[in-house]
Structure 1
Amino acid sequence: MIDLKNKKILVAGGNGFIGSHVCAALEKRGVLRERIVIPLPETHDLRVWEKCAGAVKGIDIVFDCAAVPGDILLRAKIPGQLFYENLIMGVHLVEAAFQEGVQKIITIGSATEYPESAPTPLKEIDLWNGLPSPGNIPYGLSKRIAALQGEMYRRQSGFHAIHVLLTNAYGPGERYESGYMVPSLIQKFLGAKERGEKEVEVWGTGNAVRDLIFADDAAEGILRAAEDYDDVSPLNLASGTGISIKELAELLSSITGFDGTVRWNTDKPEGDLKRLLDVTRAEQLIGFKAKTPLEEGLKKTIAWHNAQSSS
């Protein structure tokens, strides 16, 4: 087990959604704030090798939470740019960590890395059995390749690189401008209620199923993996429970107090029909199980959005 308290820790993407929750979880672990380094794009652009190499100097542990995110539409509009930027940041950081001789690097991946044809619930053993769905290739495959680089250095010299696969995370700090599902839906319902509208449009049929994990739980899983997991195989971090987009919309409508109807726009994309992760290995190997009930997590998230709109 690695004791993180006295380590100098780099959190790439530490000002982003997941990265900020990882930083908060580290501080709760007793890591002093001055021992947590967050590389800023203005001074340490991870796409530039020299800047990335400089960022890891003197670092013990690296959390790679950095990403250029993209919703369904953006992935279709600029897939090459998204693939390149996520890939170059990932491989630079793994390479820099290896050359610096850091004690461990934790690369944060996504359930979108899984093959389109993989059976559900998604199991780590199936990760390399095909390509992600076309819309998920720019992000998912770039993350998968950076993880493979860490695996190759583990084979070469015993380098401690691990890769975790995160399901759809949600929670305070994720802004609706990101285009991701939960904050976008929250803003739709809150906005409709505020304007007195009686209808909210949601893309797709509502039949797609997603596995949602509260950001605080996700950060806890990432830290436990850093402390206790050291294996070449990736590790799923998820709730292990699926909810349809229709059920999610109904729950958000109830929590926000929206009393109108939902119109499903079936001409718009809805992504993979079912994305549910198997969490058996995380429970067995690091004792991790998401603890925040969905409704409780959504209430906290909506409260954060309300506070942002009133500030």
Structure 2
Amino acid sequence: MKGFWANKRVLVTGGTGFLGQALCRLLDGQEPAYWAAPSRTDYDLCHSEEAAKLLADTEPDTVIHLAAQVGGIGANQQRPADLYLNNLLMGTNIIEQCRLAATDRLVVVGTICSYPKHTPVPFQEEALWTGYPEETNAPYGIAKLAQLVQLQANRTQYQQQGIFLMPTNLYGPGDKFHPTVSHVIPALIKKCVDAVEQGQSSIQVWGTGTASREFLYVDDAARGIMAATEHYRGAEPVNLGTNREIVIKELVDNIAETCRFDGRIEWDTSQPDGQPRRCVDTTRAKKLFGFEATTEFKKGLELTYEWYIANRQQAEALHSWD
């Protein structure tokens, strides 16, 4: 892999975010000729002129677009318009500016939130257009899906060869633990750690516990992105995942054990479960660029917990942008 990256000039948007930091750690080890991971305070990609300036300043031949405004179920319920518009604008601007600059390689990272709510499990890429996404995730998911449409349209009209990847739910060191923006694993780790520290005999968890999710360790996702950047040039979207799902109730039990919490789990069934099941088919990723996840789930949980304990202040800071 190092030979491919050695002479590259690489730009990672969202490089200071959760996935971006993991990708940049791997990228740094490949010693490219140049790479940059500017923050949103440097360039606001919601504005086309700033996206243009970013590409002019960095002159990349490879762009990996990770920048996003993100959040859990609560954020999706409270700020759906922000999540739709800001993610749509950032993706649209980066894709268009890469086209104008004739950037050699463009990788856009989407989301499995784009899949229809009742997609048969495991999710196959062909099912993307068979229905409407789960309602709380729809604005974010559709904004990301629009970027796939733009990439495919540009490929037809301008021969721009951008690729589109869809990682499943990510977890790992560096995740967001603030309650406003955290997803299920960091939210539950924080809840269990707080309960242990405060001597609580129970914790409350949203939903019924019957939904299922698939989780991909962030370093595995970064490896998948790098493999796709090097080996894949096709028009079709590609899932990144583990092809293994876990029921939320089992997930909560695993996290409680990892965090040394032995109290009761109380389910707040008045709150939504979100999409009933999520698990992706990873056949295409393995076939097209040889990607398979390698991190065992409980090991990844332990590493995430240990990072959180060692970095509480950083982990709990409020950052809604990647």
Q: TM-score, normalised by structure 1?
A: 0.96
The SS at the match of 1:179 is coil
Partner of 2:288 in structure 1? 285
Partner of 1:39 in structure 2? 38
In 2, the alpha carbon distance for the partners of 1:192 and 1:74 equals: 23
Partner of 2:55 in structure 1? 56
Aligned residues: 309
Partner of 2:235 in structure 1? 232
Asked whether the 8 Å contact 1:43–1:51 carries over to 2, the reply is no
One-letter identity of the residue aligned with 1:125: E
Partner of 1:96 in structure 2? 97
One-letter identity of the residue aligned with 1:247: E
Shift of 1:79: 1.2
* Identical residues among aligned pairs (%): 35
* C-alpha distance after superposition, 1:210-232 (max 9, x if no partner): 01000000000011010111111
Select the residue among 186, 190, 200 that pairs with 1:187. Answer: 190
1:52-131 counterparts in 2 under 5 A? 52-57=51-56, 58-131=59-132
* C-alpha distance after superposition, 1:93-141 (max 9, x if no partner): 0001110110111101111011123211100111122221221111100
Shift of 1:194: 1.1
1:159-238 counterparts in 2 under 5 A? 159-177=160-178, 178-238=181-241
In 1, the alpha carbon distance for the partners of 2:12 and 2:39 equals: 10
In 2, the alpha carbon distance for the partners of 1:310 and 1:98 equals: 40
Partner of 2:254 in structure 1? 251
In 2, the alpha carbon distance for the partners of 1:30 and 1:211 equals: 32
Select the residue among 242, 267, 271 that pairs with 1:268. Answer: 271
- Which stretch has the larger CA shift, 239-248 or 38-47? 38-47
Unaligned 5+ segments in structure 2 are: 315-322
1:114-153 counterparts in 2 under 5 A? 114-153=115-154
In 1, the alpha carbon distance for the partners of 2:65 and 2:145 equals: 13
In 2, the alpha carbon distance for the partners of 1:226 and 1:174 equals: 23
In 2, the alpha carbon distance for the partners of 1:291 and 1:305 equals: 22
Asked whether the 8 Å contact 2:117–2:276 carries over to 1, the reply is no
In 2, the alpha carbon distance for the partners of 1:5 and 1:44 equals: 26
One-letter identity of the residue aligned with 1:221: G
In 2, the alpha carbon distance for the partners of 1:63 and 1:256 equals: 35
Shift of 1:310: 8.2
One-letter identity of the residue aligned with 2:200: E
The SS at the match of 1:26 is helix
Q: Which has the higher contact order (CA 8 A, sep 6+)?
A: 2
Shift of 1:30: 2.9
Select the residue among 294, 298, 313 that pairs with 1:295. Answer: 298
CA RMSD, Structure 1 to Structure 2 (Å): 1.5
Asked whether the 8 Å contact 2:118–2:276 carries over to 1, the reply is no
Asked whether the 8 Å contact 1:201–1:265 carries over to 2, the reply is yes
Unaligned 5+ segments in structure 1 are: none
Q: TM-score, normalised by structure 2?
A: 0.93
